Amino acid sequence: MHPADGIDQEKRLAAEAAALLVDDHMRVGLGTGSTVSHLLPVLAARRLDVVCVATSPTTAALARGLGLAVAPFDHLARLDIAIDGADQVAPDFWLIKGGGGAHTREKIVACAAERFVVIVSSDKLVDRLTGPVPLELLGFGLEATRRSIGSDAACKLRSAPPTPDGGVLADYTGEIEDPHALACRLAATAGVVEHGLFPPRLVSEVVVARQGQVEHLYPTSSPT
Ligand code: 5RP
């Protein structure tokens, strides 16, 4: 088997396991990415009475196409569960998300959820976060914001269309010595709409598949 097929199979297994965590009448947050794209058909096939909110137009279209009810995320204050992929998961459960550029909406949805479930293939488990860290920036003052973040090299603009919220996608490519300190610095930088560092306190569990087996990992303590 080609290694990429093995990874895709792991994504599918993790997604299938997470789909079983959804019950009737739940309000469900749907993430974005290839792992979530495995979740959607399995969730739809369960024919539960659920209302979903989607973190991207792509996810919304896929979910609706499968018959899932997708509501706008403006009047719902809380979600029962949110399920999403990740780019990297550190041993202390800090995450990097936003490879698909949806991290702002993904963080809002994760924060609103009673239970935030991260679904990953085994290659996403890393010894330490190495970046890049996705950023969404405001177009207004863009160069000034990049300068505040660091050098041009430390904040590379993506050649990607604006986000659905009009933001500019970029990546922080500097060192991640301390994720908490970097998250605070990025969050405090004017012009940064959101960054892709997700703290352990947001994470309820990580569902990871490795060579055909699914494991559920739980953060034991969440200092940040
Ligand atoms: C999108 C994300 C994705 O969850 C992350 O990039 C993982 O993607 P994939 O499931 O395709 O590996 O954060 O903004």
Same domain? 116 vs 138: no
Answer with the residue of higher pLDDT: 125 or 2. Answer: 125
Q: Is the pLDDT of residue 117 over 60?
A: yes
pLDDT band at 152 (very low <50, low <70, confident <90, very high): low
Distance between CA atoms of 15 and 38, rounded to whole angstroms? 6
Side-chain-side CA neighbours of 90 within 13 Å: the count stands at 19
| pLDDT score recorded for residue 79 | 98
Same domain? 152 vs 95: no
Give per-residue pLDDT as tens, 57-104.
Answer: 999 999 999 999 999 999 999 999 999 999 999 999 999 999 999 999
Same domain? 9 vs 103: yes
57-65 vs 34-45: helix axis angle to the nearest 10?
A: 30
DSSP state of 174: S
pTM, to two decimals? 0.96
Residue 84 structural domain: 3-125+199-209
Pocket test for ligand 1, best of 35, 58, 123 (most atoms within 8 A of CB): 35
* Residue 119 covered by a domain: yes
Q: Is the pLDDT of residue 224 over 60?
A: no
Q: Is the pLDDT of residue 221 over 80?
A: no
Q: Is the pLDDT of residue 43 over 70?
A: yes
Pocket test for ligand 1, best of 37, 89, 97 (most atoms within 8 A of CB): 97
Same domain? 120 vs 154: no
Tell me how far the alpha carbon of residue 10 lies from the centroid of ligand 1, in angstroms: 14
* Residue 40 covered by a domain: yes
Domain count, the chain: 2
Same domain? 112 vs 142: no
| pLDDT score recorded for residue 180 | 98
* Residue 223 covered by a domain: no
Asked whether 198 and 107 are in contact (CB, 8 A), the reply is yes
| pLDDT score recorded for residue 1 | 73
Give per-residue pLDDT as tens, 174-199.
Answer: 999 999 999 999 999 999 999 999 99
Closest to 200 measured CA to CA, from 56, 93, 86: 93
Closest to 102 measured CA to CA, from 63, 68, 60, 150: 60
Same domain? 71 vs 144: no
Q: Letter for the amino acid at 12?
A: R
Distance between CA atoms of 22 and 92, rounded to whole angstroms? 26
Average pLDDT, the chain: 96
CATH number at residue 190: 3.30.70.260
Q: What ranges make up the beta strands (E) of 31-78?
A: 51-54
| pLDDT score recorded for residue 120 | 98
* Residue 110 covered by a domain: yes
